[in-house]
Amino acid sequence: MKLHEYQSKELLTKYGVPVPRGEVTSDATQAREIAEQFGGKVVVKAQVLMGGRGKAGGVKLFNSSEEAGAFTAELIGKRLISIQNPAGMVVEKVLVAELIDIAEEYYVAVLLDRNIQKSIVMISKEGGMEIEEVAEKHPDAIVKMPIDPKWGVSDYDIRNAVAQANIPKPARSQMAQMIKKLVKAYQESDAEMIEINPCALTPEGKLLAADAKVSIDDNSLFRHADYRATSHDSAEDPIEAEASKRGVAYVRLGGEIGIMGNGAGLVMQSIDEISAAGGKAANFLDVGGGAQADRVKSCMEVILMDPNVKGIFLNIFGGITRVDEVAKGVLDAFAQIDVKVPVVARIEGTAVEEGRKILEGTQIIPAQTVQEAAKLIVELANA
Ligand code: GDP
Ligand code: MN
């Protein structure tokens, strides 16, 4: 899960990383007021989860609070498009931060290096531009230091890496201190990446994180409830956002047959068989193991949020979970919601006969094979 710049900076501030002062807002008048606190000398930055905001016109420097307010009014609701993100993202909030003078821009990041299966610290004297560009133009200007999973990094290693990166002497100690804090923040917040670009050196010789991008490992979100609550960005598909809020693995695919299966493989097979039968899947949805009624209900509700859905295909295989238990869950769920489209269920596996009996005479039409079920639901949906 990517955090917005302002959230990333809040996190880093907790670890003592110096960042320019600033406040986030979605209101132009408020933006003007914040800018006034800094004497009008501010940078207004679109809070969208994509790189290259500067080039996309989402970052602008100001000398007057009126202009900062006017720019905010212009930005809010606007879709920003960058090379990294051609579909673009709609701006909902801006960060209004005090303008700092920048003498030099460095790059520093802590991230997972999948090649060496370790987290690393990356440092470069060439900040400001995208790191991919640095890697292309000045590959020698990037220093990578692995973090030992058990022992971490020593102060000595950090100082060494900073010197190796040719960070000017007066800034080295600040840089080393910042890296130490970044590594701590990275480890304690289950981050996959913390990137500071630019890490700005002011003419007075102060080092600040002028930009910050933090990404948290999704698999750790159960212990970061505070982030989960804010993870649903408007730029996402609204149904996918709702599904993610409910903890449901759902991807919208654009077709007309809603799909729910207990297991990712079953769902993928269902999508293929729907195609083979001449239909198109509306979604991927893995209901997961077990199948409690409230879980099934929640998943069905998500599927039905898509107005294109004209039929639903349930692909249930009873392994450890018995088919009859799943069937009961499905019926309980259907008793609580009004499903107006045809539903076909392929059920197979442990206790399939009992499961079949439970579904008899209900609105859920049982089928034996996946192919049969797929053909039937495509027919019914088109009828
Ligand atoms: P990004 O394009 O999404 O990475 O957004 P950044 O926050 O990195 O901003 C882009 C560029 O704007 C930076 O590389 C800086 O050159 C410039 N910038 C951002 N904040 C400030 C600031 O406070 N003062 C000055 N002088 N430049 C800034
Ligand atoms: Mn940046």
Residues 117, 82 share a domain? no
In a domain, 6, yes or no: no
The residue whose CA is least distant from atom 6 of ligand 1 is 211
Candidate of 63, 126, 211, 213 to mutate for ligand 1, largest count of ligand atoms within 8 Å of Cβ: 211
Tell me, what's the pLDDT at 291?
A: 66
CATH number at residue 69: 3.30.1490.20
Residues 366, 325 share a domain? yes
Query: Ligand 1 centroid to 166 CA: how many Å?
Result: 22
Residues 120, 158 share a domain? yes
Residues 46, 114 share a domain? no
Query: Ligand 1 centroid to 363 CA: how many Å?
Result: 58
293-304 and 238-246 are packed helices; what angle lies between their axes, rounded to 10 degrees? Answer: 170
Residues 353, 251 share a domain? yes
The CB of 208 under 6 Å from ligand 1? The reply is no
Query: Ligand 1 centroid to 186 CA: how many Å?
Result: 22
The CB of 212 under 6 Å from ligand 1? The reply is no
The ligand whose atoms approach the alpha carbon of 210 most closely is: 1
CB distance 124 to 142 below 8 Å: yes
Residues 176, 92 share a domain? no
The CB of 129 under 6 Å from ligand 1? The reply is no
For the entire predicted model, the pTM comes to 0.71
The CB of 20 under 6 Å from ligand 1? The reply is yes
The CB of 80 under 6 Å from ligand 1? The reply is no
In a domain, 72, yes or no: yes
Residues 371, 295 share a domain? yes
Distance, in Å, from the CA atom of 2 to the CA atom of 193, rounded to the nearest integer, reads 9
Domains contained in the chain, number: 3
In a domain, 11, yes or no: no
Ligand 1 closest atom vs CA 42: 23
The ligand whose atoms approach the alpha carbon of 104 most closely is: 1
Tell me, what's the pLDDT at 225?
A: 78
Annotation marks residue 186 as catalytic: no
Residues 255, 210 share a domain? no
In a domain, 4, yes or no: no
The residue whose CA is least distant from atom 11 of ligand 1 is 54
In a domain, 16, yes or no: no
57: left (phi over 0), alpha (psi -120 to 50) or beta: left
CB distance 330 to 276 below 8 Å: no
The CB of 252 under 6 Å from ligand 1? The reply is no
pLDDT tens per residue, the chain (383 residues)?
899 999 999 999 999 999 999 999 999 999 999 999 999 999 999 999 988 899 999 999 999 999 999 999 999 999 998 887 777 889 999 999 999 999 999 999 999 999 999 999 999 999 988 888 999 998 899 999 999 999 999 999 999 999 999 999 999 999 999 999 999 999 999 999 999 999 999 999 999 999 999 999 988 988 887 776 665 554 467 888 899 889 899 999 989 999 999 889 999 999 999 999 999 999 999 988 776 788 888 999 999 999 999 999 999 888 887 888 888 888 988 899 999 999 999 999 988 999 999 999 999 998 889 999 999 999 999 98
Tell me, what's the pLDDT at 171?
A: 97
Residues 53, 36 share a domain? yes
Residues 299, 254 share a domain? yes
Given 71, 98, 125, the domain boundary residue is 98
In a domain, 13, yes or no: no
Tell me, what's the pLDDT at 108?
A: 98
**Residue 162 structural domain:** 104-228
Given 67, 98, 129, the domain boundary residue is 98
Given 173, 202, 228, the domain boundary residue is 228
- Residue 2, strand partner residues: 215
The CB of 61 under 6 Å from ligand 1? The reply is yes
The residue whose CA is least distant from atom 13 of ligand 1 is 128
Residues 251, 140 share a domain? no
Count of CB atoms situated within 10 Å of the CB of 44: 27
Tell me, what's the pLDDT at 264?
A: 92
Annotation marks residue 136 as catalytic: no
Which of 107, 186, 227, 250 is flagged as catalytic?
107
In a domain, 27, yes or no: yes
Residues 261, 368 share a domain? yes
With CA atoms as reference, report the closest residue to 14 among 155, 188, 191, 173.
Answer: 188
Which of 5, 105, 126, 195 is flagged as catalytic?
195
Q: What tokens does 272 get? A: 């293929």
In a domain, 92, yes or no: yes
**Extended beta strands in the chain, E state:** 2-3, 22-25, 42-46, 59-62, 79-80, 89-90, 94-98, 104-113, 118-124, 142-147, 191-201, 207-209, 213-216, 249-252, 257-261, 283-286, 311-318, 343-349, 364-367
The CB of 100 under 6 Å from ligand 1? The reply is yes
Q: What tokens does 373 get? A: 């079920």
